[in-house]
Amino acid sequence: MSRMRSNTYYLIARRLGQVIIHLILAALSLTCVLPLLLIVAASFSDELDIAKYGYSLIPRHFTAFAYTYILKVPAQIIRAYGVTTFVTIVGTGLGLFLMALLAYVLSRYDFPWRKSLSFYVFFTMLFNGGLVPWYIWMTQGLHLKNTVWALILPYLIVPWFVLLLRTYFAQLPNELLDAARIDGAGEWRTFFQMVIPMSTPSLATVGLFCILMYWNDWYLALLYIDSQNLHPLQYMLYNILMNARAVQAQPQTTGIRLPIATVRMAMSVLATGPAALVFLLLQRYFIRGITVGALK
């Protein structure tokens, strides 16, 4: 009898524990997603409401005015979308291809220079020249300032991604690749017809990391791009934030109410939207990607 009761207590305590854990995790998850919800809500709010009552999670008056305001003169944003899309596609495509080739070579157990070349690649994760030499080399040496290549080339090979890919490739059964060789397949053929098809999930994971890295980048534009024609989305957004402040500071424009706060938010939504969508649809690839990387 008493044993049964303690069992019930145990079950209740366990249930309660589960409920508490779920509550904590749900609250944390909400905190992580909340910022974006707030930005979306604000982008659909009325400018005057924000000025009077501040930002809120539910718009007092629902309006898409900020979006129509932005899209009235769409040239700039279309241009920025174009730059970002181009940079993302070319950078991811080329980078993924070159990194996969390198990682494949480094993953082959019978490649004699595997160790020394791995060191050559991964040493750059530990030591670098820092910002100043890099900047001078990029601008004075390679003359990449104000070219679209300044937005692509610096991120082409990421040693960390090479490391991930090498780990994936090393898990492919050696017997299979050796058998292909015995059957007369050359290295290129083995790479394209065996390695690539067998590792699509891992290539997808690294590819997605690349896509988001390029899509979210503002740093290269901050350093290397002056001309507005080459501003990617994130950097354009950053500029709008700075300029909006400049507009606010000028006394002669105080009479006219530019929808600064809501436009800022609507721009953020437009800039993040595609990346957020990619993440939501494919998040399990990312999660698996780090899991494999973490366990090495």
Partner 1 sequence: MLELSRLGVKAEPAKRQGARRTVWRDGRNLTRLFMAAPALVWIFIFSYVPMFGLIIAFKDYRFDKGILGSEWVGLTNFRFLVGTREAWRAMSNTLILNAAFIATTLVVSLVVAILLYQIQHHILARFYQAALFFPYFISWVIAGVFVFALLNSDTGLVNQLLVKWGRPKIPWYSSADYWPAILSAANLWKSVGFWSIVYFAGMLGISPEYYEAAEVDGATGWEKTVYITLPLLLPLITINVLLSIGRIFYADFGLFFHVTRDQGALYRTTDVIDTYVFRGLTKSAQIGMASAAGFYQSVVGFALVFLSNWIVRRIDPDRSLF
List the interface residues with partner 1, window 85-144 (CB under 8 A): 98-99, 101-102, 104-109, 111-113, 117, 119-137, 140-142
> Smallest distance, Å, CB 17 to partner 1?
7
> Smallest distance, Å, CB 44 to partner 1?
14
Does position 270 bind partner 1 by CB under 8 A?
A: no
Segment 189 to 208, residues that bind partner 1, using CB under 8 A:
191
Does position 285 bind partner 1 by CB under 8 A?
A: no
Choosing from 152, 218, 231, 259, the residue that interacts with partner 1 (CB under 8 A) is 218
> Smallest distance, Å, CB 142 to partner 1?
8
Residue nearer to partner 1 on the CB measure, 65 or 238: 238
Residue nearer to partner 1 on the CB measure, 78 or 290: 290
Choosing from 241, 243, 257, 258, the residue that interacts with partner 1 (CB under 8 A) is 241
Choosing from 19, 26, 48, 247, the residue that interacts with partner 1 (CB under 8 A) is 26
Q: Are 169 and 107 in contact (CB under 8 A)?
A: yes
d(CA 217, CA 136): 20
d(CA 206, CA 293): 11
Does position 296 bind partner 1 by CB under 8 A?
A: yes
- Residue for token digits 């990619």? 278
Does position 185 bind partner 1 by CB under 8 A?
A: no
Q: How many residues bind partner 1 (CB under 8 A)?
A: 104
Residue nearer to partner 1 on the CB measure, 21 or 64: 21
Does position 255 bind partner 1 by CB under 8 A?
A: no
Residue 289 structure tokens? 């990607």
Residue 37 structure tokens? 């919800």
Segment 139 to 168, residues that bind partner 1, using CB under 8 A:
140-142, 153-154, 156-157, 159, 162, 166-167
> Smallest distance, Å, CB 296 to partner 1?
7
d(CA 40, CA 267): 10
Choices 48-56, 77-85, 197-205, 251-259 (CB under 8 A): range interacting with partner 1: 48-56
Choosing from 42, 80, 83, 151, the residue that interacts with partner 1 (CB under 8 A) is 42
